[in-house]
Structure 1
C-alpha cells in the first residue's frame, strides 16, 4: 500500500499553487451569484459553469445540470461530476454551494462587496467564506493530490442553498447514483478560530407551530369586564411563561437534551458570545450547564411571532383571541416530530383558566449528530491537527442545515463530515464578509490529507 503523503509535502504543493487557489475565491466573488435574484437565471448558470470548468482542471468530469422542483418546474443550476481512480477504492462526495446572499446596502461595507479585497490575513467579499471558500478547499485539495489521488470523487456544488434548497431532494432522487458514496464532506461550516480547526459535530433540528388562544367570542369593554376575564394576550403570555422555569430551563415534558457530541474540549466564551449577540449588561444568560450544550444540544423555544394590536391606536377592549408562533430548536438527539407532539401536548394541557387553546403544527426538520467514533471522523481530526498544528476543537451549531440530515437519511451508510472555512469573525450573510487566508490554506491542506487517509479505509 502506498505511503501516506505528509503535511509538509501537501503544504509545499498548496503553497506552489496558492495564487490560483485564492483566485477561485476572488472569481467567485466577482461573479455575483445571488440566488435570490433568480435561481434559474443566466447569472446562476454562468456561476455553475465557472465551477464546473475549475473542477475539470483538477480531473473531475464535471457538468452543469438544471434541477427541477417538486412540481417539475426548472430550478437551480447544479454542478455534478466524478472521477474514478479505482473501482475498489472508497468514494468521497464533496459538497459546497455556489450561490451567495444578496447585498442590500453596499454602503455598509468597508470594501467593494463583489471585488475580492485582501487586507492583512482576511479576504473580503460577498461569499468569501460562504461558500466560495468551500469550493476553493475542494479545488485546492484535488489540485494538491493530482495524479496521487487514491479515492474516487463525486462532487455536488449546489445552486440554491441560500434559498432553502427546495430542489435538493428531487434532484438527489433524480441523480441517486451521482450521490452514492462512502464519505460525504460538506464544506459549508467553519472553524473555532482562524488558527484553531473544527469539525462540526451536530446541528439542532426544528419544529414550528402556531398556538391559538381564545377567551371570548367577541371583544368586550375592559372597564366593564376586566378583572374576572383576562384578555387573550395576557392569557397567552401566561402560557408562554410556563415554557421555562426560574433558571431558564425549558420546562416542556418529553423534550430531550444532551451534551456536546464527541465531548466538550472547550466551552464557548460568554463574554464573546454576549458581545456578538448584543446582550444588554443587566441580562443574565438563561439555563444551566455549559454554554455549548445550551446552544448546541439542548432544545430552546422562541416566540417568533405574536398577533396583538399595536400600541398606537390601541383602545380599551379585552382582546378575545390571539395567536403566537413558537420556533423550537430540537436537540440533535431527538426526532423533531416527537418534539412537536410534546409541544402540542404541553400547550393544549396547560391552558390558563380553561381558555381554549389549539395548536397547529407547521414544519419539522431533523437535526444531525456526527458519529464521533467512526474511522472517517478520526481521520478528519488527525488531518486537521496536522494541517493547523494544534488540536481541533469540535463544535456544534445551534441552527439547522436541513440538507445534511436529508443526505444522511437517503444515504444512511455514508459517513458525513462537516467542515468549512468560516470562523467567528467571518460575518457570513452580513456586511464585510471575509475569510481568513491562512485558515483557508490550512483547510485545503487538511482536506488533501484527509482524502489521502480515506484511501486506507477500503
Structure 2
C-alpha cells in the first residue's frame, strides 16, 4: 500500500535531533513530511521556524462552515539507534517481516504520522471538519516547540479537539484511548568540593569526594520506603493500572500503590557525570554532576514542582559543599474527561475499527506539546491514541509497527473526523 511505502521513506531518514548527530537528515525529514502532506491533499503547508530547533511542519485544511477544527499532532524526529549490533536489520533500512515494518521510528513516531496522513487521504483531503496537522522536529530531545509556543501563530493552535498521536495501545489488538499524561520537570545538580583532583593516597580521608557528596544528595530525594521525599510534589487519585516488571523484581517506589505509575511523582537520575570505570585513577574527584527527571501528577503545576525540587536540593550541604542546581525543561500534564464529547466519539471510533471495546487508560509518560496546549486561551479536548503498542520496542532495538494496527488506526481516525463533524 502507498501509505506503508511512504512510511518506509520516512523511516529511512535518520532524523535524530540529538546533539552530535548531523542536522541535515532532520531537515530532510521535515521536507518529506511537508511533501507527503501536500500529496495527501492538504492545501496549505509550511515549515514553521522554531528558535533553536528544527522546523515544525504545519498543514491546514479550513473547516466547512460551522464545523469544528481538529489538531493532529506527531513528531518526525526519532531516538538514536543505540547499539547497532542489537538490531536484526539496520535501524534506518526499513524492513518488512511478516505483519510488521521494522526500523527506528516505525512506531515512535513516524507510524503515527502515517496514521494522520492515511486519515486525510481517506477523505481525499476534504474531511468534514477543519484539520490542522502539526509535526515537530525535536520531541525526543526536549520539545523546544512546547517551550516556544509563542512562536506558533495562534491560528495553528485554535482547535476544538487535539489528537496527540504519540501514544498507543496497551497490547496489540486492544484499542486504547489515553486520558492522562504526567507532567515533567528536569534539573541538573552539581557538587564541587575542590578546585582540582588530588591523589587518593596522599589526601584520601582528608579531601572531600565530590561523587560521594553527590550520592548523599541523591539519596536524600527518596525516603526509607523509596518514595519521593521532595515537599511540594503531589499524588492524585486515579484508577488502577499495574506496571509490567521482570518476575521476582519489586519496584522500589511503593509498588503496592498503582498510582505511582501515572498519578504520582516518579524521580529518575537519567544522567551522571563522573570518571568512567575504564578511566579510573587513584584520585579524589573534585566535581560530580547528575541530571534528575521527575514525572509529575497530571494536575501538578510543573513550574511549582521544579521550584520545590530546586529548593530541596539547594538546602543540601554534603560535607559542607554547596550544591548548584540548573533548571531544565518543564511541561504540564494532561487529564481528559472520559465523558467529554470528543472522548466519547474517539471511544466509539476505536471500538469500531478494532471490533472490540476500547480501554480507557492513564499513561505515565509525558508529551510536552500536549501539556503546553493547556496554556492556550481555549484549550482543546485532548485525545491520546496511536498505532504503536506496548510491544513495539520504542526507544530500543528492532522497533516495529504492526501493519494491521496501522490500518485500524487510519480507519479509526478517519471515522473520528466524521463523528466530530
| TM-score where L is the length of structure 2 | 0.83
Cα deviation, residue 193, structure 1: 1.0
The alignment yields a C-alpha RMSD, in angstroms, of 3.5
2:49 counterpart (42, 65, 68): 68
Determine the C-alpha separation between the residues in 2 that align with 1:314 and 1:404. Answer: 46
Q: 1:344 to 1:422 in 2, by over 3 A?
A: same
Select the structure that is richer in helix.
Answer: 1
Q: Does 1:82 align with 2:64?
A: no
118-127 or 246-255, larger mean C-alpha shift: 118-127
Match of 1:365 among 323, 330, 335: 330
The one-character-per-residue Cα deviations of 1:39-70 (angstroms, maximum 9, x if unpaired) are 587633541343123321xxx3142x233233
Using the TM superposition, name which of 285-294 and 218-227 deviates more. 218-227
Is the alpha carbon distance of 1:195 and 1:291 closer, same or farther for their aligned partners in structure 2, counting shifts above 3 Å? farther
Distance 1:141 1:48, change over 3 A: closer
Tell me, in whole angstroms, the C-alpha distance in 2 between the residues paired with 1:310 and 1:95: 40
From 30, 38, 43, give the equivalent of 1:53.
Answer: 38
* SS at structure 1 position matched to 2:40: helix
Task: Give ranges in structure 2 of 5+ residues lacking alignment.
Answer: none
What's 1:278 paired with?
none
2: CA distance, partners of 1:316 / 1:132? 47
Change (3 A) 1:267 1:167: closer
Q: Counterparts of 1:27-426 in structure 2 under 5 Å?
A: 27-30=9-12, 36-38=21-23, 43-44=28-29, 46-56=31-41, 60-63=42-45, 65-70=46-51, 75-76=54-55, 78-85=57-64, 87-101=65-79, 103=81, 108-111=86-89, 113-145=91-123, 149-166=127-144, 173-213=151-191, 231-260=209-238, 263-264=239-240, 266-271=241-246, 283-289=249-255, 292-306=258-272, 308=274, 314-315=281-282, 322-351=288-317, 355-373=320-338, 374-426=340-392
CA distance in structure 1 between the aligned counterparts of 2:146 and 2:230, rounded to whole angstroms: 33
| Distance across 1 between alignment mates of 2:68 and 2:356 | 28
Range with bigger deviation, 236-245 or 225-234: 225-234
| Gaps in structure 1 of 5+ consecutive residues | 1-18, 275-280
SS of the counterpart of 1:379?
helix
Change (3 A) 1:194 1:308: closer
Corresponding residue SS for 1:130: coil
SS at match of 2:168: coil
Q: Aligned-pair distance for 1:396?
A: 3.7
TM-score when scaled to structure 1?
A: 0.77
Moved more, 218-227 or 365-374: 218-227
